[in-house]
Amino acid sequence: MFDVDKALDLWRSEALRRALRIQSVVLDASREFLRRQGFIEILPVIISPITDPLTDHRVRGEVECYGFKYQITKSMIFHKQIALFTHPRIFCFSPNVRIESIERRNSGKHLIEFVQLDLEVREAKRSEVISLGEELFRFIVIAVREKCREDLEFFGRKLDLPESPFPQISYREAEAKFGPDFEEKLSCSQKGPFWIIDFPMEIREFYDREDENRPGILIDMDLVYPEGFGEALSGGEREYIFQRICYRIQQKGIQLEAFSPYLEIARRGLFPSAGFGIGIERLTRYLCGLRQIELTRLFAKLPGEFSL
Ligand code: AMP
Ligand code: MG
């Protein structure tokens, strides 16, 4: 069960104290950068009848209120698209709960509760949010290098400032060069962050937009950290046409009813958009050069472990 002494050692540790200081600079810098870019911060949604399906091993977290069934947010993807009715550029520090499989307990990368900096831009193309992601990342690195010199020294971390544009490789190219589990190998082989683009439709969720000129290929991307730190963010252009969304949902073998409130909105017309979500704990992990994700936030919950 809960080990109080172990938890106290962690809460009093120098590593956690310094990692959280770096994280605090990350939060400030992200807000400052995005405000300058004309973004509005929206508040997170914790429960909703709709959330990211993430059609894999992850269990659905559900709560019942007044006889209505709500799901605990796995990501705010649909709420971001809907928020664009109110404002054209939005971001949110969104808490996500994903009940990851127990095999991921020692991956160093997986928590069952984490926070994404999730943003969406009305009428944007992928290239625009790729540039935005690069500038955001560079802004954060500059801020951390400037404000957290002693903390970086403590971690023995020399943070390079990558030049924009970051390299890009397509999913198919990466797979051909490095084999099916290429992310880890590619990440280990790189010195700076890089993009994987054009994921095949079958391995992503239904909301990433299919390229009209290349059936089965999505206009989406992941940013990957170097040195084996792995995935930093996922994003892309979104499906926004009602019939396309219905088709993509059905292709995944999901009943349309599961998304009926979202589909009612899409029928009346969603904006075209693009965006991404970057995990804050993983970003902190990379900046600090830490291998254990549980050192990047208070009350970290590893798959399979009981925690506060
Ligand atoms: P995804 O929608 O799965 O691509 O998640 C967006 C981002 O959130 C990822 O690129 C990671 O940075 C982060 N993330 C996803 N799952 C987890 C997890 N289980 N623990 C910590 N961070 C995560
Ligand atoms: Mg992802």
- pLDDT, residue 208, reads 98
- For ligand 1, atom 8, the nearest C-alpha belongs to 279
What percentage of the chain carries pLDDT values higher than 70? 98
Mean pLDDT calculated for residue range 82-100: 97
Q: Whose CA is nearest to atom 13 of ligand 1?
A: 279
The mean pLDDT of the chain is 96
Q: Which of 304, 305, 286 is nearest to 103 (CA)?
A: 304
Going by alpha carbons, the residue nearest to atom 19 of ligand 1 is: 110
Which residue has the least CA distance to atom 14 on ligand 1?
Answer: 279
Mean pLDDT of 86-97: 98
Q: Average of pLDDT values for 278-297?
A: 98
Measured between alpha carbons, how far is residue 223 from residues 89, 141, 172, 232, 259 in Å? 20, 15, 16, 5, 28
Q: Which ligand is nearest to the CA of 277?
A: 1
Whose structure tokens read 């054209």? Answer: 88
Q: How many CA atoms are closer than 13 Å to the CA of 98, on its beta-carbon side?
A: 25
Q: What is the pLDDT of residue 61?
A: 83
| Closest alpha carbon to 81 in 223, 213, 231, 259 | 259
Instruction: Report which ligand 1 atom has the smallest distance to the Cα of 52.
Output: 2
Residue nearest (by alpha carbon) to ligand 1 atom 12? 279
> What homologous superfamily does CATH list for 4-160+238-296?
Bira Bifunctional Protein; Domain 2 (3.30.930.10)
> With 90 as the cut, is the pLDDT of residue 92 above it?
yes
Q: What percent of the chain has pLDDT above 90?
A: 96
Per-residue pLDDT tens digits for 44-74: 999 999 999 996 656 678 899 999 999 999 9
Preceding amide of 165 cis, omega within 30:
yes
Q: What is the mean pLDDT of residues 283-301?
A: 97
Q: What is the mean pLDDT of residues 174-190?
A: 95
CA distance linking residue 27 with residue 136, whole number of Å: 11
How confident is the model at residue 218, as a pLDDT?
98
Nearest to 227 by CA among 141, 287, 145: 287
Closest ligand 1 atom to Cα of 74 = 2
Of the listed ligands, the closest to the CA of 104 is 1
124 by DSSP, 3-state: which? coil
For residue 75, which atom of ligand 1 is closest to its CA?
2
225-258 per-position pLDDT tens digit: 999 999 999 999 999 999 999 999 999 999 999 9
Residue 94, beta-bridge partner list:
116
Q: Provide residues with CB under 6 Å of ligand 1.
A: 75, 98, 100, 110-111, 114, 116, 231-234, 277-279, 281-282
Q: What phi, psi does 151 have (nearest 5°)?
A: -65, -40
**By mean pLDDT, which of 36-45, 46-55, 88-97, 291-300 is the weakest?**
46-55
Region 266-286: what's the mean pLDDT?
98
What's the pLDDT at 60? 74
Contact between 270 and 81 (Cβ < 8 Å): yes
Looking at residues 84-88, what average pLDDT do you find? Answer: 98
* Those residues with Cβ within 8 angstroms of residue 298's Cβ, 6 or more apart along the chain or in another chain: 11, 16, 20
The H or E element that residue 131 is part of is helix 126-147
* pLDDT, position 59: 67
Which pLDDT belongs to residue 1? 81
Atom of ligand 1 nearest to the CA of 118: 6
